[in-house]
Chains A and B, each alone.
Chain A
Amino acid sequence: MHMLSHAEASEKFIANQERTDWHDDTLWFVRAKRDKASKLLPEWEALREQASQIKEHMLSNLPQYLLEFEANAQANGVQVHWAKDAHEHNEIVYSIIQKHGDKALVKSKSMLTEECHLNAYLEQRGIDVVDTDLGERIVQFRKEVPSHIVLPAIHLKKEDVGETFHQHLGTPKGNKDPQFLTEAARIHLREKFLEAKVAITGVNFAVAETGEFVVCTNEGNADMGAHLSDVHIACMGIEKIIPKRQDLGVFLRLLARSATGQLITTYSSHFAKPRAGQEMHIVLVDNGRSRQLARDEFRNSLKCIRCAACFNTCPVYRRSGGHSYHQPVAGPIGSILAPNFDKKANVDLPFASTLCGSCSNVCPVKINIHEQLWFWRQDLMKEGLAPAGKVLGMKFMAWMMANPTIFRMAGGMGRKVMNWFPFLVNNGLNPWYKQREMPAPPKQSFQEWYKSNRL
C-alpha cells in the first residue's frame, strides 16, 4: 500500500475548508490558553530552564538512573521488564496477560503502546483491548488512530462522535450533545473498569530516587483501571526517568500549563507499590532511543514530556491535521522523532514545517525542535532520500546562488517571465501556486534599486 506523504494527506485534509478553519482556530485557542497560564507564573522561563537542565543531566547519566530506578521499584515490590524494541515490548505484555488467562483489558493513554502497535498485536491474539480515554475510545470505535497526543479526537466534530456512539453504544441517532455523549461513555466504560482484571497505563515520569512513577489524567481513567485491576502493567520509554522526587515539582508545574493551559491535570497519580494482592509491572522500552541518544544533533529530542504545545502552535500541524503525519506522534516533535525509526518512510516529515521556530519557543523543556527539523533535512538530503525533484531544485538553486552573474540574470528573467507569461507560474504544476496567488513581480531587483537610490 502506498503511504500518502504529508503533503498528499494534507491536501485531503484541507479539502474541507470549514473543518480546516475550525481545527486551526481550536488548536490556536488551546495555544492561547497555554500562553495565559504560563504568564501567570513569574518564574516560567526559569522553570523551563530548570526542566531542560534536569533532562539533559538525566540523558548524560541514563544507564545509572535506569538501574537506580529498577532497584528501587523492585524493592517496592514491582516487577521490572526490559524491552529492546516494540516487538519485545508486545511479547512481554502479552505473556503477563496470558499468565492470568484474561481475554480483555482496559488501557489508558500511552503513546508508547501506540508506537509499538500493541493493540493490533493483542487483538490478533484474541485479546479485547478497551481504550478508556474518551478521545481514544472514540477513535478506537472508528478504527482510526489518535491525531493528537493530548487531544486524540481533535480531528472530529461532535456530529461524528454522535454518529459513532449511535453505532457502537446505541445512543439516539442525531444526538451530538457532548455532555450526553460523555455520560454514555462513562456508563459504558465503568462496566469495563469493573470487569477488567488487567489494566495498562502509560507513564509520564518515573523517579529514580524512589522507584515510583506518575501518571497524569483529567478523566481519572488510568486510576479507575489500575486500582480496580488485579494486574497493573505500566509501559514507558526509557527517557521518562527523572532523578529525584523534587523534580516532579518542576515538571508538573510545566506539563498541564503547556498542554492545555490548565493549572495541573485533575489527577497526578504516584504509583510506588502494588496494593495488597495486586501485581504491578513496569516495562522499560528502548525501541530506538539508545540510537537517538547517540546522535549528537538529535539527542535532546529525548527530553520531550509529550505536552503537545508544539502541535498547537504549529501553523502546519493546525492546517494539516495529525493523520497527515502518518506517525503515532505527529506535529513538530513527531517529525524529529520519526526519522530515527525509519528515515525512508518518514523522509517527508522534517519538510512538513515552515521552520518558523514557534515550536522551540513554546517547548517547556527547551528542545530546539525547528533546528532539528533543519538538521534532519540536511541528513536526509545527504543520504539521497529526498524526492528527486527536491534534490534537483536545490542543486540548481545552490549553483545559481553561487554565481552572482547568473543569479542576476535569472532574477531579471524571472520577473520578465512572470510579467509576460503569468500562466507559466500560475498553474497547477507549480506547487507554490496551490492555495495561493503568486505575488506581482517587482519592477526591479533590490540591487538595481540600491544602485539607483544610493547617495
Chain B
Amino acid sequence: MSSREEIIKALQEVKVPAKAYPGAFTAQVIGEDTLADFLYSMQVVSTTVIQVKEAADASPALDKHFPNMERVHLNPLADGLSLADIDVLEIEGDFGVAENGAIWLDDSNLPHRVAPFICQHLVIYLSQNNLLPTLQEAYIRLGDKQTGFGVFLSGPSKTADIEQSLVIGAHGARSLVVVLTEC
C-alpha cells in the first residue's frame, strides 16, 4: 500500500463528528470612506502615495522621488535574473484593499513572477475606482479567476527579526510608491 493510501485510510478510519461548512462570511464595512481607509493603510505600511488625475501626470512627482534613477515600465522581460539590476520597476496593479493596503498582482500584471520582489524599488499604478473595503470583497472580486501565480502585496518588504526593530527593505523591494489615478 502506498503512503498516500495509508494516510487516506488512517484518516478515513477516524470517526470525526460531522461539522457543517459555515457558509460565506459577510464582512462589515469598516469605514464610510474606502479611499480614506486605503490612504491610512498605505501610511501604516510605509508606502508613498501619489494621487493624480491620470497615470501620465505622475512623472514629475516620480522624477523627484527617484532622482537620477532609471525607471523601467512593465516590459515583458523573459529573464527574471536580469530584473535584479533594475532600480525602479513600474507595474499596473489590479485592485487594492482599503483595510490593509494590499494590492493584487498576478501573472497578467507581471513581466516575470519575481519582478515585484527583485527590483530595488517598486511603483504600482492603481485606479481609485478599483479599491475594495475588505479582503473579503477582494476574494469575491477575484472569484474563480485562474492564474498561475498571484500576490496580495502590502507595502515594501520589511523585517523586525533583529530585536524587533523595524527595518524596511529586507529581500524584496526597498520602497513602494503607489500612483493612485482618478480614472
Spell out A's residues near B (CB within 8 Å).
26, 29-30, 40-43, 46-47, 50, 53-54, 56-57, 59-60, 62-63, 66-67, 76, 82-84, 88, 132-135, 138, 151-154, 156-158, 161, 178-179, 181-183, 186, 189-190, 193-194, 210, 218-221, 223-224, 227-228, 238, 243, 245-246, 248-250, 252-253, 260, 263-275, 284, 286, 290, 293-294, 299
Contact = CB atoms under 8 A, between A and B. Distances in A.
A293 B11 contact: yes
A178 B165 contact: yes
Contact of A82 (B2, B99, B170): B2
Could you say which of B17, B22, B44, B117 has the most chain A C-beta atoms within 10 Å of its C-beta? B117
A275 B148 contact: yes
Contact of A227 (B106, B113, B142, B157): B113
B81 A59 contact: no
B33 interface: no
Interface of chain B: mostly helix, strand, loop or mixed: loop
Contact of B3 (A54, A83, A138, A294): A83
**Size bin of chain B's contact surface:** 35 or more
B170 A221 contact: yes
B170 A134 contact: yes
Contact of B6 (A84, A156, A294): A84
A293 B148 contact: no
A88 B74 CA distance: 43
A238 B3 CA distance: 13
B161 A152 contact: yes
Interface string B148-172: 1111111111111111110101111
Contact of B99 (A29, A179, A224, A263): A263
Interface in B1-31: 2-4, 6-8, 10-14, 16-22, 24-25, 27-28, 30
A190 to B, nearest CB: 7
B136 interface: yes
A186 to B, nearest CB: 6
A308 to B, nearest CB: 13
29 contacts: A26-B163, A29-B164, A43-B28, A53-B22, A54-B22, A60-B18, A60-B19, A67-B8, A82-B2, A82-B4, A151-B160, A151-B164, A193-B171, A220-B157, A221-B171, A227-B118, A238-B11, A246-B25, A249-B136, A250-B136, A252-B135, A253-B134, A264-B100, A264-B154, A269-B151, A272-B147, A272-B150, A273-B149, A290-B7
Contacts of A273: 148-149
A220 B171 contact: yes
A438 B76 CA distance: 72
B2 to A, nearest CB: 7
B80 A43 contact: no
Contacts of A88: 3
A248 B99 CA distance: 15
B162 A186 contact: no
B157 to A, nearest CB: 4
B14 A158 contact: no
Contacts of B169: 182-183, 186
Given A156-B163, A299-B16, 9 more contacts: A41-B30, A53-B22, A57-B20, A62-B11, A67-B8, A219-B172, A264-B97, A266-B158, A272-B148
Nearest to B152: A268
Nearest to B165: A178
B10 A250 contact: no
Could you say which of A76, A84, A246 has the most chain B C-beta atoms within 10 Å of its C-beta? A246
B144 interface: yes
B161 A157 contact: no
Given A53-B22, A186-B169, A219-B171, A265 B27 contact: no
B162 A161 contact: yes
B77 interface: no
A272 B158 contact: no
Given A178-B165, A218-B157, A264-B100, A60 B3 contact: no
Nearest to A238: B7
A27 B103 CA distance: 30
A300 to B, nearest CB: 10
Nearest to A52: B22
